[in-house]
């Protein structure tokens, strides 16, 4: 998956008043890795990224980015990193192509490279469209293209799919896959657990400034002792019959279907098959969202 460590963060801490926004964060990111940082609002994700990018000085701990210290602002690193922030700003009255060409010129990059990035993010047909005439999803893709205009080795993306409709979000997944296929290292934050599970090689789950768990999404899910949920249509079995099936831990009726919880799905499915109760059946295993909620809790975060 990786040839070496692109990022080495060791014991990072950052305090604002009495709040430790980042509290002892350590991790490494390998070359060519897609690394996700997940957490509820206020978990410390953005502050952690800003420290690694060299935008903020840590109160304690150290960061090495390609073996270099990013703080104070390190000119050696600037051509090698691309950053897409939560709130994107563009030059007024410029087309998509002109935006990219302007960003590229700041790094002495040819306009041909900028055009290549437009194609990568699927905006070639919008090259002559002003930024304020683009849709939300197109603006997000343009923002990522600007972060890639100088062909950096590592790209930092802070919630790149926030506020996008499902179709735009899926389209952006293809862009992220294409970036990774070019050998780039990607570090990103997101609130969408499904996309992290699909896209990331590894994820770190943060809360209250600390990393609570870190591994490949599938490994985190396997490590969670969570039941499998089996849903069957109402009327196929009575609720009391479902509760009596060997291996069923809980059974409930949500008004649409019966929901059976089990840690022995093979046994339960075999019994349901014998009783001819497979009509409309659905099986749902644990997901990264279950891991997230187990670690961070279910209370509302403002």
Are 34 and 137 in a shared domain?
yes
pLDDT in tens, 241-288: 999 999 999 999 988 899 999 999 999 999 999 999 887 899 999 899
What is the enclosing helix (H) or strand (E) of 24? strand 19-30
Q: Which range among 38-42, 58-62, 133-137 has the greatest average pLDDT?
A: 58-62
Region 75-97 average pLDDT: 88
In terms of domains, do 150 and 251 share one? Answer: no
Q: Say which CATH number the domain at 147 has.
A: 3.40.50.300
Domain end position, chosen among 172, 206, 222 = 222
DSSP code per residue over 142-196: HHHHHHTTT--SEEEEESTTTT--HHHHHHHHHHHHHHHHTT-EEEEEES-HHHH
With both helix axes pointing from N to C terminus, report the angle between 96-106 and 136-147 in degrees, rounded to the nearest 10: 20
What are the tens digits of pLDDT across the range 96-142? Answer: 999 999 988 888 888 888 778 888 888 999 999 999 999 988 998 99
In a domain, 12, yes or no: yes
Quote the radius of gyration of the chain (alpha carbons, Å): 23
Does position 215 have pLDDT exceeding 90, yes or no? yes
Q: Is the pLDDT of residue 302 over 60?
A: no
The number of folded domains in the chain is: 2
Residue-wise pLDDT for 258-270, tens only, equals 999 999 999 999 9
Residues 147, 175, single domain; the answer is yes
Query: Which residues, other chains included, contact 164 with Cβ-Cβ below 8 Å and sequence gap of 6+?
Result: 136, 137, 140, 172
Total-model pTM = 0.86
Write the CA distances from 218 to 213, 214, 222, integer angstroms.
13, 11, 6
Q: b or e along 244-261 (b: 16 or more beta carbons within 10 Å of the residue's beta carbon)?
A: ebebbeebeeeeebbbbb
Residue 290 included in any domain: no
Residues 146, 253 share a domain: no
């Amino acid at each position: 998956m990786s040839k070496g460590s692109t990022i080495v963060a060791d014991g990072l801490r950052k305090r604002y008043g009495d709040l430790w926004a980042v509290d002892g964060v350590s991790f490494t990111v390998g070359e060519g890795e897609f690394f996700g940082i997940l957490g509820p609002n206020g978990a410390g994700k953005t502050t952690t990224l800003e420290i690694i990018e060299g935008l903020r000085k840590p109160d304690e701990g150290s960061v090495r980015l390609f073996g270099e210290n990013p703080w104070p602002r390190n000119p050696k690193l600037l051509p090698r990193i691309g950053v897409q922030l939560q709130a994107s700003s563009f030059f007024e009255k410029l087309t998509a192509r002109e935006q990219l060409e302007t960003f590229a010129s700041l790094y002495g990059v040819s306009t041909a490279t900028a055009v290549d990035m437009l194609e990568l993010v699927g905006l070639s047909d919008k090259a002559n469209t002003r930024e304020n005439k683009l849709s939300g999803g197109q603006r997000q893709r343009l923002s990522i293209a600007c972060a890639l205009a100088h062909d950096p080795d590592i790209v930092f993306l802070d919630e790149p799919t926030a506020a996008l409709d499902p179709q735009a979000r899926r389209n952006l997944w293809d862009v992220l896959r294409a970036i990774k296929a070019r050998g780039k290292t990607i570090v990103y934050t997101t609130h969408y657990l499904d996309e992290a599970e699909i896209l990331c090689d590894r994820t770190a789950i943060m809360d209250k400034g600390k990393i609570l768990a870190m591994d490949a999404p599938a490994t985190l899910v396997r490590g969670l002792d969570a039941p499998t949920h089996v849903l069957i249509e109402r009327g196929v079995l009575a609720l009391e019959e479902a509760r009596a099936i060997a291996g069923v831990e809980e059974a409930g009726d949500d008004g649409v279907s019966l929901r059976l919880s089990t840690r022995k799905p093979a046994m339960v499915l075999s019994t349901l098959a014998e009783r001819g109760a497979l009509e409309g059946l659905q099986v749902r295993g644990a997901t990264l969202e279950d891991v997230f909620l187990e670690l961070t809790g279910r209370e509302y975060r403002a």
